[in-house]
């Protein structure tokens, strides 16, 4: 897509701090992090929003989602269980879709937001 910021990041025409890459996906650090860990996972193929996806895209969407716990663990915010069985750590996975969903960049992306609280606007 011409003039799409995240297509340009995927094509390395605009620099970003890349943390993961394979044939289908790219993950990089958000330029304006809302929390100590704030990563974005995008498909290399352009989809304007999640609403542009169909059932045929389920494997790609599943791959995006399955990457979240792997990257969260790598960046120190994975979910862990203590000897008492209590969970600690953790992160949010978020896909904003459309104006009312708070989407600003129209290339499908999943936020991975984690790290010790407080985060911007959250406890
Ligand atoms: P949205 O609101 O569309 O779900 O999120 C867009 C995200 O992209 C925001 O968190 C914003 O900080 C991030 N972002 C916008 N422009 C750039 C950029 O040029 N590079 C990087 N790494 N992140 C960006
Ligand atoms: Zn794009």
Convert the pLDDT of each residue in 28-77 to its tens digit. 999 999 999 999 999 999 999 999 999 999 999 999 999 999 999 999 99
Q: Is 1 a residue whose pLDDT tops 80?
A: no
Question: For residue 70, how far is its CA from the centre of ligand 1 (angstroms)?
Answer: 21
Task: Tell me if 31 CB under 6 Å of ligand 1.
Answer: yes
Contacts of 99 (CB under 8 A, 6+ apart): none
Angstrom distance (rounded) from CA 68 to CA 34? 17
Mutate-to-test residue for ligand 1 from 12, 31, 96, highest number of ligand atoms within 8 A of CB: 31
Determine the pLDDT at residue 123.
Answer: 66
| 109 catalytically annotated | yes
Q: Is 87 a residue whose pLDDT tops 80?
A: yes
Residue whose entry in the numeric block shows the structure tokens 């704030």: 38
Is the overall model pTM greater than 0.85, yes or no?
yes
Confidence band of 9 (pLDDT split at 50, 70, 90): very high
- Across the chain, mean pLDDT equals 96
Looking at ligand 1, which residue's alpha carbon is closest to its atom 13?
A: 30
Q: What is the DSSP string of the chain?
A: -TT-HHHHHHTTSS---EEEE-SSEEEEE-SS-SSSEEEEEEESS--SSGGG--GGGHHHHHHHHHHHHHHHHHTT---EE-TTS-EE--EEEE---SGGGT--SSS--EEEEESSSPBTTB-
Task: Tell me if 6 CB under 6 Å of ligand 1.
Answer: no
Determine the pLDDT at residue 119.
Answer: 86
Angstrom distance (rounded) from CA 47 to CA 31? 21
> Are the beta carbons of 92 and 111 closer than 8 angstroms?
yes
Question: For residue 3, how far is its CA from the centre of ligand 2 (angstroms)?
Answer: 8
Question: For residue 77, how far is its CA from the centre of ligand 2 (angstroms)?
Answer: 28
Angstrom distance (rounded) from CA 26 to CA 71? 12
Q: Is 11 a residue whose pLDDT tops 70?
A: yes
Confidence band of 122 (pLDDT split at 50, 70, 90): confident
């Amino acid at each position: 897509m011409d003039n799409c910021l995240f297509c340009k990041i995927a094509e390395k025409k605009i620099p970003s701090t890349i943390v993961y890459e394979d044939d289908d996906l790219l993950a990089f650090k958000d330029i304006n992090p809302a929390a100590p860990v704030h990563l974005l996972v995008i498909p290399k193929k352009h989809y304007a929003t999640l609403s542009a996806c169909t059932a045929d895209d389920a494997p790609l969407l599943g791959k995006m989602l399955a990457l979240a716990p792997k990257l969260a663990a790598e960046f120190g915010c994975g979910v862990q269980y203590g000897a008492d069985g209590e969970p600690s750590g953790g992160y949010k996975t978020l896909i904003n879709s459309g104006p009312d969903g708070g989407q600003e960049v129209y290339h499908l992306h999943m936020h991975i937001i984690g790290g010790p609280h407080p985060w911007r606007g959250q406890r």
